[in-house]
Amino acid sequence: MADAIEIAARVRSGSVTAVDIVEQHLAAIAKREPEIHAFNLVLAEQARARAHEVDAMVAAGRDPGPLAGVPIALKDNMCTRGVPTTCSSKILAGWKPPYDATVVSKLAAAGAVVIGKTNLDEFAMGSSTENSAFGPTRNPHDITRVPGGSSGGSAAAVSAGFASLGLGSDTGGSIRQPAALCGVVGVKPTYGYVSRYGLIAFASSLDQIGPFANSVADAALLLDVIGGHDPMDSTSIPLTHPALLDVVGQGAEGLRVGRITDLPDGADPDVTERLELAFDALRAAGATIVDVQVPAFEFGLTAYYLIGPAEASSNLARYDGVRYGLRVDAADTNAMYGVTRAAGFGDEVKRRIMLGTYALSAGYYDAYYGKALKVRRLIHDEFERAYQRADVLLTPTSPSVAFPFGAKGDNPLAMYLCDVYTIPANLTGHPGMSVPFGTGAADLPVGVQVLAGTLCEPQMFRAAAALERALS
Protein backbone atom coordinates (compact mmCIF):
# COMPACT_ATOMS: atom_id res chain seq x y z
CA MET A 1 0.00 0.00 0.00
CA ALA A 2 1.20 3.52 -0.81
CA ASP A 3 2.02 6.09 1.86
CA ALA A 4 -0.69 8.57 2.83
CA ILE A 5 1.13 11.54 1.30
CA GLU A 6 1.35 9.75 -2.05
CA ILE A 7 -2.29 8.62 -1.94
CA ALA A 8 -3.54 12.14 -1.18
CA ALA A 9 -1.41 13.65 -3.95
CA ARG A 10 -2.65 11.15 -6.52
CA VAL A 11 -6.30 11.55 -5.49
CA ARG A 12 -6.05 15.36 -5.57
CA SER A 13 -4.46 15.26 -9.02
CA GLY A 14 -7.11 12.87 -10.33
CA SER A 15 -4.59 10.17 -11.30
CA VAL A 16 -6.38 7.71 -9.02
CA THR A 17 -9.83 7.73 -7.45
CA ALA A 18 -10.58 7.65 -3.75
CA VAL A 19 -13.03 4.82 -4.51
CA ASP A 20 -10.21 2.68 -5.94
CA ILE A 21 -8.04 3.40 -2.91
CA VAL A 22 -10.82 2.42 -0.51
CA GLU A 23 -11.55 -0.78 -2.44
CA GLN A 24 -7.86 -1.77 -2.27
CA HIS A 25 -7.86 -1.36 1.49
CA LEU A 26 -11.19 -3.15 1.93
CA ALA A 27 -9.75 -6.06 -0.08
CA ALA A 28 -6.77 -6.19 2.29
CA ILE A 29 -9.18 -6.19 5.24
CA ALA A 30 -11.24 -8.99 3.75
CA LYS A 31 -8.11 -11.08 3.27
CA ARG A 32 -6.49 -10.82 6.73
CA GLU A 33 -8.92 -9.23 9.18
CA PRO A 34 -10.46 -12.58 10.24
CA GLU A 35 -7.09 -13.71 11.62
CA ILE A 36 -5.89 -10.34 12.97
CA HIS A 37 -9.11 -8.79 14.34
CA ALA A 38 -7.87 -5.20 14.21
CA PHE A 39 -11.41 -3.79 13.99
CA ASN A 40 -14.48 -3.76 16.16
CA LEU A 41 -16.40 -2.36 13.21
CA VAL A 42 -15.46 -2.05 9.53
CA LEU A 43 -17.35 0.86 7.96
CA ALA A 44 -17.24 -0.44 4.39
CA GLU A 45 -20.36 1.23 2.99
CA GLN A 46 -19.74 4.53 4.76
CA ALA A 47 -16.15 4.51 3.50
CA ARG A 48 -17.32 3.91 -0.06
CA ALA A 49 -19.86 6.73 0.19
CA ARG A 50 -17.24 9.08 1.60
CA ALA A 51 -14.81 8.14 -1.19
CA HIS A 52 -17.46 9.02 -3.79
CA GLU A 53 -17.84 12.44 -2.11
CA VAL A 54 -14.08 13.02 -2.31
CA ASP A 55 -14.00 12.03 -5.99
CA ALA A 56 -16.93 14.34 -6.72
CA MET A 57 -15.02 17.25 -5.14
CA VAL A 58 -11.97 16.51 -7.30
CA ALA A 59 -14.15 16.26 -10.43
CA ALA A 60 -15.69 19.64 -9.60
CA GLY A 61 -12.26 21.25 -9.29
CA ARG A 62 -12.36 21.56 -5.51
CA ASP A 63 -9.55 20.45 -3.22
CA PRO A 64 -10.78 17.83 -0.73
CA GLY A 65 -7.86 18.54 1.61
CA PRO A 66 -4.39 17.25 2.53
CA LEU A 67 -5.68 13.74 3.36
CA ALA A 68 -7.86 13.40 0.25
CA GLY A 69 -9.06 9.81 -0.04
CA VAL A 70 -6.66 8.47 2.60
CA PRO A 71 -8.18 5.56 4.60
CA ILE A 72 -7.77 5.96 8.35
CA ALA A 73 -8.59 3.67 11.27
CA LEU A 74 -9.96 5.17 14.50
CA LYS A 75 -9.45 3.68 17.94
CA ASP A 76 -12.88 2.79 19.26
CA ASN A 77 -12.75 5.27 22.14
CA MET A 78 -13.24 8.30 19.89
CA CYS A 79 -16.79 9.49 19.42
CA THR A 80 -18.25 9.09 15.93
CA ARG A 81 -21.73 10.48 15.43
CA GLY A 82 -24.30 7.74 14.90
CA VAL A 83 -21.63 5.01 14.82
CA PRO A 84 -21.22 2.60 17.77
CA THR A 85 -18.35 3.61 20.08
CA THR A 86 -17.63 0.85 22.57
CA CYS A 87 -14.19 1.32 24.18
CA SER A 88 -14.13 -2.47 23.67
CA SER A 89 -16.38 -2.77 26.74
CA LYS A 90 -19.75 -4.40 27.32
CA ILE A 91 -20.76 -1.44 29.49
CA LEU A 92 -21.25 0.74 26.38
CA ALA A 93 -23.32 -1.81 24.46
CA GLY A 94 -25.63 -0.14 21.97
CA TRP A 95 -24.34 3.40 22.51
CA LYS A 96 -24.02 5.67 19.48
CA PRO A 97 -22.57 9.12 20.21
CA PRO A 98 -24.67 12.15 19.19
CA TYR A 99 -21.54 14.06 18.11
CA ASP A 100 -18.11 13.64 16.53
CA ALA A 101 -14.83 14.03 18.40
CA THR A 102 -12.91 17.12 17.29
CA VAL A 103 -10.24 14.96 15.64
CA VAL A 104 -12.94 13.15 13.64
CA SER A 105 -14.31 16.47 12.40
CA LYS A 106 -10.81 17.61 11.43
CA LEU A 107 -10.19 14.41 9.50
CA ALA A 108 -13.42 14.92 7.57
CA ALA A 109 -12.43 18.49 6.73
CA ALA A 110 -9.07 17.20 5.46
CA GLY A 111 -10.68 14.70 3.08
CA ALA A 112 -9.81 11.51 4.97
CA VAL A 113 -11.93 8.36 4.77
CA VAL A 114 -12.67 6.59 8.07
CA ILE A 115 -12.54 2.90 7.25
CA GLY A 116 -13.32 1.45 10.68
CA LYS A 117 -13.23 1.57 14.48
CA THR A 118 -10.37 -0.44 15.95
CA ASN A 119 -10.08 -2.83 18.87
CA LEU A 120 -8.37 -1.84 22.12
CA ASP A 121 -7.79 -2.95 25.67
CA GLU A 122 -11.07 -2.13 27.43
CA PHE A 123 -11.20 1.61 28.20
CA ALA A 124 -7.56 1.76 27.02
CA MET A 125 -6.34 -0.15 30.07
CA GLY A 126 -3.66 -2.60 29.00
CA SER A 127 -0.49 -3.21 27.03
CA SER A 128 -1.45 -6.15 24.82
CA THR A 129 -5.04 -5.68 23.51
CA GLU A 130 -5.91 -8.92 25.30
CA ASN A 131 -8.34 -7.10 27.62
CA SER A 132 -10.99 -6.36 24.97
CA ALA A 133 -14.53 -7.60 25.54
CA PHE A 134 -14.53 -8.57 21.84
CA GLY A 135 -11.41 -10.74 21.83
CA PRO A 136 -7.74 -9.97 21.24
CA THR A 137 -6.05 -8.36 18.24
CA ARG A 138 -3.12 -10.27 16.74
CA ASN A 139 0.22 -8.92 15.59
CA PRO A 140 0.40 -8.89 11.77
CA HIS A 141 4.09 -9.92 11.93
CA ASP A 142 3.29 -13.05 13.96
CA ILE A 143 -0.30 -13.87 14.83
CA THR A 144 0.78 -15.92 17.86
CA ARG A 145 1.94 -12.67 19.48
CA VAL A 146 0.31 -9.54 20.85
CA PRO A 147 0.28 -6.24 18.93
CA GLY A 148 0.83 -4.23 22.11
CA GLY A 149 -1.76 -1.99 23.67
CA SER A 150 -3.94 -0.37 24.39
CA SER A 151 -4.16 0.93 20.81
CA GLY A 152 -3.25 -2.47 19.38
CA GLY A 153 -6.07 -2.44 16.84
CA SER A 154 -4.96 0.82 15.21
CA ALA A 155 -1.30 -0.24 15.20
CA ALA A 156 -2.17 -3.61 13.64
CA ALA A 157 -4.47 -1.99 11.07
CA VAL A 158 -1.71 0.30 9.81
CA SER A 159 0.94 -2.44 9.96
CA ALA A 160 -1.25 -4.88 8.00
CA GLY A 161 -2.15 -2.35 5.31
CA PHE A 162 -5.82 -2.14 6.33
CA ALA A 163 -5.50 1.66 6.64
CA SER A 164 -2.79 4.08 5.58
CA LEU A 165 -3.10 5.98 8.86
CA GLY A 166 -4.51 5.37 12.30
CA LEU A 167 -5.40 7.29 15.42
CA GLY A 168 -4.85 6.02 18.92
CA SER A 169 -4.80 7.42 22.43
CA ASP A 170 -1.78 7.35 24.72
CA THR A 171 -2.21 7.44 28.51
CA GLY A 172 0.95 5.57 29.52
CA GLY A 173 2.40 4.45 26.20
CA SER A 174 -0.69 3.16 24.42
CA ILE A 175 0.35 4.59 21.03
CA ARG A 176 4.12 4.21 21.23
CA GLN A 177 4.34 0.68 22.64
CA PRO A 178 2.05 -0.99 20.05
CA ALA A 179 3.75 1.06 17.32
CA ALA A 180 7.06 -0.48 18.39
CA LEU A 181 5.67 -4.02 18.50
CA CYS A 182 3.93 -3.69 15.12
CA GLY A 183 6.78 -1.90 13.33
CA VAL A 184 5.06 1.42 12.59
CA VAL A 185 5.54 5.05 13.63
CA GLY A 186 3.50 6.16 16.66
CA VAL A 187 3.35 9.64 18.20
CA LYS A 188 2.16 11.00 21.53
CA PRO A 189 2.15 14.80 21.16
CA THR A 190 2.61 17.36 23.92
CA TYR A 191 -0.37 17.26 26.28
CA GLY A 192 -2.86 19.78 24.88
CA TYR A 193 -1.43 19.71 21.33
CA VAL A 194 -4.43 17.70 20.09
CA SER A 195 -7.99 18.18 21.35
CA ARG A 196 -9.39 15.51 23.67
CA TYR A 197 -12.98 16.60 23.02
CA GLY A 198 -14.85 13.42 22.14
CA LEU A 199 -12.15 11.09 23.44
CA ILE A 200 -13.75 8.86 26.08
CA ALA A 201 -11.63 9.49 29.15
CA PHE A 202 -9.44 7.03 31.00
CA ALA A 203 -7.18 9.45 32.93
CA SER A 204 -7.85 13.02 31.90
CA SER A 205 -4.49 14.53 32.90
CA LEU A 206 -2.60 11.85 30.97
CA ASP A 207 -4.68 10.99 27.86
CA GLN A 208 -3.56 12.33 24.49
CA ILE A 209 -4.59 11.44 20.92
CA GLY A 210 -1.91 10.83 18.31
CA PRO A 211 -1.11 9.24 14.94
CA PHE A 212 0.03 5.88 13.64
CA ALA A 213 1.69 5.84 10.22
CA ASN A 214 4.09 3.89 8.04
CA SER A 215 6.50 6.83 7.78
CA VAL A 216 7.60 9.79 9.86
CA ALA A 217 6.38 12.18 7.15
CA ASP A 218 2.91 10.63 7.13
CA ALA A 219 2.76 10.95 10.93
CA ALA A 220 3.79 14.60 10.63
CA LEU A 221 1.05 15.27 8.07
CA LEU A 222 -1.62 13.63 10.24
CA LEU A 223 -0.49 15.52 13.34
CA ASP A 224 -0.57 18.76 11.35
CA VAL A 225 -4.21 17.99 10.46
CA ILE A 226 -5.48 17.05 13.93
CA GLY A 227 -3.36 19.46 16.02
CA GLY A 228 -4.30 22.96 17.09
CA HIS A 229 -6.37 24.81 19.64
CA ASP A 230 -9.94 23.69 20.33
CA PRO A 231 -12.20 25.84 22.55
CA MET A 232 -14.22 22.70 23.34
CA ASP A 233 -11.23 21.31 25.30
CA SER A 234 -10.18 23.38 28.31
CA THR A 235 -6.73 21.72 28.30
CA SER A 236 -6.08 22.52 24.62
CA ILE A 237 -3.02 24.77 24.14
CA PRO A 238 -4.04 28.11 22.57
CA LEU A 239 -1.12 28.27 20.16
CA THR A 240 -0.56 27.92 16.43
CA HIS A 241 1.70 24.93 15.88
CA PRO A 242 4.45 24.86 13.22
CA ALA A 243 3.95 22.63 10.18
CA LEU A 244 5.81 19.45 11.13
CA LEU A 245 5.82 18.18 7.56
CA ASP A 246 8.16 21.07 6.75
CA VAL A 247 10.82 19.96 9.26
CA VAL A 248 11.15 16.22 8.58
CA GLY A 249 13.66 16.83 5.80
CA GLN A 250 15.91 19.15 7.79
CA GLY A 251 18.18 16.42 9.14
CA ALA A 252 19.76 15.91 12.54
CA GLU A 253 22.72 18.23 12.02
CA GLY A 254 23.34 20.20 15.21
CA LEU A 255 20.82 18.33 17.36
CA ARG A 256 21.90 17.42 20.89
CA VAL A 257 20.76 13.85 21.56
CA GLY A 258 20.62 12.79 25.20
CA ARG A 259 21.62 9.38 26.52
CA ILE A 260 19.99 8.79 29.93
CA THR A 261 22.80 7.22 31.96
CA ASP A 262 20.52 6.14 34.82
CA LEU A 263 17.80 4.63 32.64
CA PRO A 264 15.98 1.77 34.43
CA ASP A 265 17.24 -1.71 33.54
CA GLY A 266 14.91 -4.25 32.03
CA ALA A 267 15.26 -4.00 28.25
CA ASP A 268 16.21 -7.19 26.42
CA PRO A 269 19.69 -7.31 24.83
CA ASP A 270 18.29 -7.22 21.28
CA VAL A 271 16.44 -3.98 22.12
CA THR A 272 19.43 -2.27 23.75
CA GLU A 273 21.57 -3.24 20.75
CA ARG A 274 19.18 -1.45 18.39
CA LEU A 275 19.18 1.59 20.70
CA GLU A 276 22.98 1.81 20.54
CA LEU A 277 22.82 1.61 16.75
CA ALA A 278 20.29 4.47 16.82
CA PHE A 279 22.74 6.66 18.75
CA ASP A 280 25.40 5.76 16.17
CA ALA A 281 23.04 6.66 13.31
CA LEU A 282 22.25 10.09 14.74
CA ARG A 283 25.93 10.77 15.44
CA ALA A 284 26.67 9.91 11.81
CA ALA A 285 23.89 12.28 10.74
CA GLY A 286 25.59 15.19 12.49
CA ALA A 287 24.04 15.10 15.95
CA THR A 288 25.99 15.35 19.19
CA ILE A 289 25.44 12.68 21.86
CA VAL A 290 25.39 14.00 25.44
CA ASP A 291 24.93 12.22 28.75
CA VAL A 292 22.03 13.29 30.98
CA GLN A 293 20.61 12.06 34.28
CA VAL A 294 16.96 11.60 35.20
CA PRO A 295 17.15 9.84 38.60
CA ALA A 296 13.37 9.88 39.14
CA PHE A 297 12.71 8.03 35.83
CA GLU A 298 12.42 4.76 37.76
CA PHE A 299 9.58 6.15 39.91
CA GLY A 300 7.36 6.81 36.86
CA LEU A 301 5.70 3.41 36.90
CA THR A 302 4.76 3.66 40.58
CA ALA A 303 3.39 7.19 40.30
CA TYR A 304 1.44 6.34 37.14
CA TYR A 305 -0.30 3.32 38.68
CA LEU A 306 -1.66 5.54 41.44
CA ILE A 307 -2.57 8.63 39.37
CA GLY A 308 -4.01 6.76 36.36
CA PRO A 309 -6.32 4.46 38.33
CA ALA A 310 -7.38 7.32 40.62
CA GLU A 311 -8.53 9.37 37.63
CA ALA A 312 -10.10 6.28 36.05
CA SER A 313 -12.14 5.52 39.16
CA SER A 314 -13.59 9.02 38.93
CA ASN A 315 -14.13 9.03 35.15
CA LEU A 316 -15.72 5.59 35.01
CA ALA A 317 -18.24 6.37 37.76
CA ARG A 318 -20.53 7.73 35.00
CA TYR A 319 -21.20 4.21 33.71
CA ASP A 320 -24.04 3.36 36.02
CA GLY A 321 -26.72 1.83 33.78
CA VAL A 322 -28.91 4.94 34.00
CA ARG A 323 -28.07 7.19 31.07
CA TYR A 324 -26.55 5.04 28.34
CA GLY A 325 -25.06 1.65 27.58
CA LEU A 326 -25.67 -1.59 29.44
CA ARG A 327 -28.35 -1.83 32.14
CA VAL A 328 -28.94 -4.95 34.20
CA ASP A 329 -32.24 -4.83 36.09
CA ALA A 330 -32.24 -5.34 39.84
CA ALA A 331 -34.46 -4.84 42.88
CA ASP A 332 -33.40 -1.22 43.52
CA THR A 333 -31.12 1.46 42.10
CA ASN A 334 -28.05 0.65 44.18
CA ALA A 335 -28.32 -3.02 43.32
CA MET A 336 -28.70 -2.09 39.64
CA TYR A 337 -25.47 -0.07 39.79
CA GLY A 338 -23.63 -3.05 41.23
CA VAL A 339 -24.87 -5.77 38.88
CA THR A 340 -24.54 -3.53 35.81
CA ARG A 341 -20.93 -2.69 36.57
CA ALA A 342 -20.13 -6.28 37.49
CA ALA A 343 -21.48 -7.48 34.16
CA GLY A 344 -20.22 -4.56 32.07
CA PHE A 345 -16.61 -4.09 33.18
CA GLY A 346 -13.80 -6.58 32.60
CA ASP A 347 -11.25 -7.73 35.17
CA GLU A 348 -8.51 -5.20 34.36
CA VAL A 349 -10.93 -2.26 34.46
CA LYS A 350 -12.31 -3.45 37.80
CA ARG A 351 -8.75 -3.86 39.11
CA ARG A 352 -7.84 -0.28 38.23
CA ILE A 353 -11.09 1.19 39.55
CA MET A 354 -10.45 -0.54 42.88
CA LEU A 355 -6.82 0.62 42.97
CA GLY A 356 -7.86 4.19 42.22
CA THR A 357 -10.74 4.26 44.66
CA TYR A 358 -8.46 2.97 47.42
CA ALA A 359 -5.78 5.58 46.61
CA LEU A 360 -8.40 8.36 46.86
CA SER A 361 -10.12 7.09 49.99
CA ALA A 362 -10.12 8.88 53.31
CA GLY A 363 -6.99 8.19 55.30
CA TYR A 364 -4.99 7.08 52.24
CA TYR A 365 -5.26 10.08 49.91
CA ASP A 366 -2.15 11.86 51.19
CA ALA A 367 -0.14 8.66 51.56
CA TYR A 368 -0.79 7.45 48.02
CA TYR A 369 -2.38 9.87 45.54
CA GLY A 370 -0.93 13.02 47.11
CA LYS A 371 2.56 11.53 47.22
CA ALA A 372 2.25 10.32 43.61
CA LEU A 373 1.50 13.88 42.51
CA LYS A 374 4.69 15.08 44.23
CA VAL A 375 6.69 12.38 42.46
CA ARG A 376 5.09 13.41 39.17
CA ARG A 377 6.34 16.95 39.72
CA LEU A 378 9.81 15.66 40.57
CA ILE A 379 9.92 13.64 37.33
CA HIS A 380 8.77 16.66 35.32
CA ASP A 381 11.42 18.94 36.82
CA GLU A 382 14.21 16.41 36.22
CA PHE A 383 13.23 16.02 32.57
CA GLU A 384 13.13 19.80 32.19
CA ARG A 385 16.73 19.95 33.45
CA ALA A 386 17.69 17.18 31.02
CA TYR A 387 16.21 19.18 28.13
CA GLN A 388 18.46 22.10 29.00
CA ARG A 389 21.37 19.87 27.97
CA ALA A 390 19.70 17.91 25.14
CA ASP A 391 17.15 18.67 22.42
CA VAL A 392 15.87 15.08 22.37
CA LEU A 393 16.40 11.92 24.39
CA LEU A 394 16.55 8.34 23.10
CA THR A 395 15.29 5.30 24.99
CA PRO A 396 13.82 1.92 24.10
CA THR A 397 10.09 2.16 23.44
CA SER A 398 9.29 -1.32 24.74
CA PRO A 399 11.57 -3.52 26.87
CA SER A 400 11.05 -6.38 24.40
CA VAL A 401 9.70 -7.31 21.02
CA ALA A 402 6.10 -8.57 20.79
CA PHE A 403 5.48 -11.34 23.30
CA PRO A 404 3.22 -14.42 22.93
CA PHE A 405 -0.42 -14.32 23.95
CA GLY A 406 -0.91 -15.21 27.60
CA ALA A 407 2.74 -14.62 28.51
CA LYS A 408 1.93 -11.81 30.95
CA GLY A 409 -1.82 -12.01 31.41
CA ASP A 410 -1.66 -13.76 34.79
CA ASN A 411 0.87 -11.28 36.18
CA PRO A 412 -0.41 -7.69 36.10
CA LEU A 413 2.94 -6.30 37.30
CA ALA A 414 4.82 -7.96 34.42
CA MET A 415 2.30 -6.41 32.02
CA TYR A 416 2.64 -2.98 33.65
CA LEU A 417 6.42 -3.13 33.22
CA CYS A 418 5.88 -3.06 29.44
CA ASP A 419 5.30 0.68 29.82
CA VAL A 420 8.31 1.51 31.98
CA TYR A 421 9.96 3.62 29.25
CA THR A 422 6.84 5.31 27.90
CA ILE A 423 5.03 6.36 31.09
CA PRO A 424 7.27 9.31 32.10
CA ALA A 425 6.28 11.35 29.01
CA ASN A 426 2.62 11.08 30.02
CA LEU A 427 3.39 12.21 33.56
CA THR A 428 5.40 15.20 32.31
CA GLY A 429 3.11 16.05 29.38
CA HIS A 430 6.10 16.04 27.03
CA PRO A 431 5.92 14.59 23.50
CA GLY A 432 7.33 11.21 22.54
CA MET A 433 7.30 8.97 19.52
CA SER A 434 8.34 5.47 18.53
CA VAL A 435 10.24 4.91 15.29
CA PRO A 436 10.80 1.44 13.80
CA PHE A 437 14.53 0.73 13.91
CA GLY A 438 15.22 -2.76 12.66
CA THR A 439 14.36 -6.10 14.18
CA GLY A 440 15.28 -8.11 17.23
CA ALA A 441 14.46 -11.57 18.54
CA ALA A 442 12.47 -13.79 16.16
CA ASP A 443 12.98 -11.12 13.47
CA LEU A 444 10.28 -8.98 15.10
CA PRO A 445 10.20 -5.15 14.99
CA VAL A 446 12.05 -3.01 17.53
CA GLY A 447 11.07 0.59 18.16
CA VAL A 448 13.33 3.40 19.40
CA GLN A 449 11.65 6.13 21.43
CA VAL A 450 12.45 9.80 20.75
CA LEU A 451 11.48 12.15 23.59
CA ALA A 452 11.49 15.96 23.58
CA GLY A 453 10.45 18.92 25.73
CA THR A 454 7.10 20.71 25.75
CA LEU A 455 6.08 21.73 22.20
CA CYS A 456 9.43 20.56 20.85
CA GLU A 457 7.77 18.32 18.27
CA PRO A 458 9.91 19.84 15.44
CA GLN A 459 13.16 18.62 17.02
CA MET A 460 11.58 15.25 17.80
CA PHE A 461 10.43 14.77 14.20
CA ARG A 462 13.84 15.82 12.83
CA ALA A 463 15.55 13.14 14.92
CA ALA A 464 12.92 10.53 14.05
CA ALA A 465 13.22 11.24 10.33
CA ALA A 466 17.01 10.94 10.56
CA LEU A 467 16.66 7.51 12.19
CA GLU A 468 14.22 6.48 9.46
CA ARG A 469 16.64 7.59 6.74
CA ALA A 470 19.48 5.67 8.38
CA LEU A 471 17.59 2.43 7.72
CA SER A 472 16.54 3.24 4.17
Is 96 among the catalytic positions?
A: no
* Catalytic-role residue among 169, 174, 215, 398: 174
* Catalytic-role residue among 88, 127, 150, 236: 150
Say how many C-beta atoms besides its own lie within 10 A of residue 370's C-beta.
13
Is 174 among the catalytic positions?
A: yes
**CA-to-CA dists, residue 13 to 3, 149, 218, 303, 422, angstroms:** 16, 37, 18, 51, 40
Is 408 among the catalytic positions?
A: no
Query: Which residues are part of the catalytic machinery?
Result: 75, 150, 174
